[in-house]
Amino acid sequence: MSQWSRAEIEEALATYQAASKKAGQTGDWRDWANRFTEDATYVEHFFGTMTGREAIYEWIQSQMSEWPGSEMIEFPIEWYIIDEERGWVVCQIWNRMADPGDGSDHREYNFSLLKYAGNGLWSYEEDIYNPERFLEMVGNYERHKESLAAGAEQASSPGS
């Protein structure tokens, strides 16, 4: 029998998701980091392992305040699986870039493992993704933005 109900885990996941949405909109990642226990572990295969809520906060706030993280504004979960026995959630999260100006959608996904610790908090997150696909998506996004800017500049030039 599980320590936590499925409903409790789903509520914690919804709170986590709402915090990431707010952070993407405001640039303030404090509430999102507060979804973790004081001694949580966050494994990010490209950036390393952070231990403790404050280390997680400092890392995420820094990463998401600088390009290209500052352009990632939404992190919707497409699907998730809950292992009630362990209190684990496996999900696919989209990392969606800001609208470059024409409504086009630029995003890449990662799989995340979250381990629930009770009281609405997570003790562990691990993100698994292909860095090359993220770099390709970000490159395509930047080229698209440059193309839109060049087109706007050309349209506003005298003699156009």
Q: What is the CATH number of the domain that holds 121?
A: 3.10.450.50
Domain containing 127 equals 6-150
Q: Which residues of 65-76 are buried (b: 16+ CB within 10 A; e: fewer)?
A: eeebbebbbebe
Per-residue pLDDT of the chain (160 residues; tens, 9 = 90+): 679 999 999 999 999 999 999 999 999 999 999 999 999 999 998 899 999 999 999 999 999 999 999 999 999 999 999 999 999 999 999 999 999 989 999 999 999 999 999 999 999 999 999 999 999 999 999 999 998 888 777 777 666 5
107-118 and 88-97 strand pairing:
antiparallel
Asked if the structure places residue 156 within a domain, the reply is no
Asked if the structure places residue 155 within a domain, the reply is no
Distances in whole angstroms, Cα of residue 23 to Cα of each of 4, 18, 46, 120, 159: 27, 9, 21, 18, 44
Asked if the structure places residue 159 within a domain, the reply is no
Q: Is 20 left (phi over 0), alpha (psi -120 to 50) or beta?
A: alpha
Q: 87 has which bridge partners?
A: none
**Tally of domains within the chain:** 1
